[in-house]
Amino acid sequence: MSVELSEHVQQLIGRWRAYILAHGASEEHVAALEGQLWDHAAGLGDAGLDEDEAFLVALRRVAVSDDATRDFARAYSEESWRAPAEPGPEPALRRGPDKSRSAAAEFAVMLGCAIAAGLAIQLPRLFGSGDIGGQGSFYARNLSLFVLPFLTVYFSWKRGLRAKTVAGLAAVFVAGAVFADAYPFARNGVTEVLTAIHLPIALWFTSGFAYVAGEWRSDERRLEFVRFTGEWLVTYALIALGGGVLVALTTGVFSAIGLDVGQFIAEWVLPSGAMGAVIVAAWLVATRRNLAGGMAPMLARVFTPLFAATLVALLAGVVWTRGAIDIQREVLLLFDVLLVVVLALLLYAISARDRKPGPGLFDRIQLVLVGCALAVDVVALVNIAARLTTYGFSANRAAVIGLNLVLLAGLAWSALRQTGFLRSQLGFEAVERAHMRYLPVYAVWAAIVVVAFPLVFGFA
């Protein structure tokens, strides 16, 4: 333990030491683990992680062989995410001593990745592939490939990932590009559309692997990524709204002096700005935790009962107007969109909930939401099955029925765990684990659609 650590990290290690000693660990066992924790934290700090992040990842590595450390890491993770953005006197957690050089380096890396993403969306047009409007299918298939590799580069740098891990992530993106562009899709065909929809999902999880520093098997780290995703969505939406106001004002000002900048903004500013904002929003959330943390959980609490009421009204309307059978194709697609939104809302609400309180009204509303989503899913599956018997299999029907089955299994598992929690038979950790351990299923399904569906259905 000859490596110097800041006073802040030493205090955190002292907290950890006191915790596991209080839980029955021997002095010899603590000394052995402390040496490992010290070395991991120092190495991760040298790799560029901030102090709290380095300490948390070091805890994860030590926790593999120690249950008390695992419990401490879970509590520390919760405390870190819920710490106030601007801590007052004597906060539970502090960011530690000022690290202006590290902060400046991270800002430079983020800015470089954002600029690279903004330029990447322009490269096909600059090299003769046509503008975005004229090459809509190409840009739709490749949209995530213009930005998510750079987001992954930023996370890889921030987490100090090994070169071998980075190479593996790069291989995934190369494979994504091959599946998006090497397949001979029929022009505006269904399999091309399915690839455009599902490839960003698969690649977002790839970026998530970098975000959790490769520790994807950890339920806690998956939970952090879900929290990050929710806060990133809110932050990106705020940036987009502000950008929209800025674009409108800029266009108006230039029009007032007789200059038309509409085409320049449409072709250069909006596409490049949208790509760069993905990286900027991720940086804001990753470096300023809880930037949207007060708003995102509040939105989850507002929209959960509203979506529950919407699903109840939807089910009542379906039964009242036409029964549960013979629902039109467009309505079924809207059902699936609604179910995906409900799932996203449910995941974030669970990730943002404090574990300590027992069952409450909001938890019961969530169970109603899950129950209604299950009912809508069953109605959709019944109608899809009826269409299969009439019209046979197609890429679109197979993708929809597969999605509904994946959602059905996940929602049913969630309902069982939520019911056990409301009956005080399970702790809230069991509800979290159910969702976090099912999370890879969505990534696997998205990858199957991208890789296998074009081959199975002849690129139609």
At 291 the pLDDT is: 53
Higher pLDDT among residues 263 and 54, named by residue? 263
285-307 residue pLDDT tens: 887 655 555 566 777 888 889 99
Band of pLDDT at residue 320, cut at 50, 70 and 90: confident
At 174 the pLDDT is: 97
Higher pLDDT among residues 169 and 387, named by residue? 169
At 4 the pLDDT is: 59
Answer whether residue 81 shows pLDDT above 80: no
Band of pLDDT at residue 180, cut at 50, 70 and 90: very high
At 294 the pLDDT is: 57
Alpha-carbon gap, residue 36 to 168, rounded angstroms: 27
Residues 304-315 have a mean pLDDT of 88
Across 124-144, b (16+ Cβ under 10 Å) vs e yields bbeeeeeebeeeeebbbbbbb
Band of pLDDT at residue 101, cut at 50, 70 and 90: very low
Residues 178-200 have a mean pLDDT of 92
Domains and CATH numbers, the chain: 7-82 (no CATH), 100-287 (no CATH), 295-456 (1.20.120)
At 323 the pLDDT is: 60
Residues 148-157 have a mean pLDDT of 95
Answer whether residue 171 shows pLDDT above 80: yes
Higher pLDDT among residues 313 and 1, named by residue? 313
At 1 the pLDDT is: 42
Residues 194-223 have a mean pLDDT of 90
At 51 the pLDDT is: 75
At 41 the pLDDT is: 80
Higher pLDDT among residues 451 and 72, named by residue? 451
- pTM, whole model, 2 decimals? 0.80
| CA 33 vs CA 50, 65, 221, 352, 363: distances in Å | 21, 9, 21, 31, 38
Closest CA to 303 of 242, 348, 333: 348
Residues 120-147 have a mean pLDDT of 80
Answer whether residue 318 shows pLDDT above 70: yes
Which tokens hold the place of 63? 């926790």
Band of pLDDT at residue 267, cut at 50, 70 and 90: confident
Alpha-carbon gap, residue 310 to 338, rounded angstroms: 10
Band of pLDDT at residue 366, cut at 50, 70 and 90: very high
Alpha-carbon gap, residue 382 to 152, rounded angstroms: 40
At 132 the pLDDT is: 59
DSSP string, 306-362: HHHHHHHHHHHHHHHHT-SS---HHHHHHHHHHHHHHHHHHHHHHHHS-SSS---HH
4-33 residue pLDDT tens: 577 778 888 888 888 888 877 788 888 888
Question: What does pLDDT average to over the chain?
Answer: 84
At 407 the pLDDT is: 95
Answer whether residue 270 shows pLDDT above 90: yes
Q: Residues of the chain with pLDDT > 70: what percent?
A: 87
At 2 the pLDDT is: 41
Answer whether residue 95 shows pLDDT above 50: no
Give every CB contact of residue 154 below 8 A, 6+ residues apart in sequence.
Answer: 109, 110, 113, 279, 282, 283
Least-confidence region, from 99-113, 190-204, 259-273, 369-383: 99-113
Across 83-112, b (16+ Cβ under 10 Å) vs e yields beeeeeeeeebebbeeeeeeeeebeebbee
Residue with tokens 């091959």: 178
Q: Indicate the SS3 state at residue 24.
A: coil
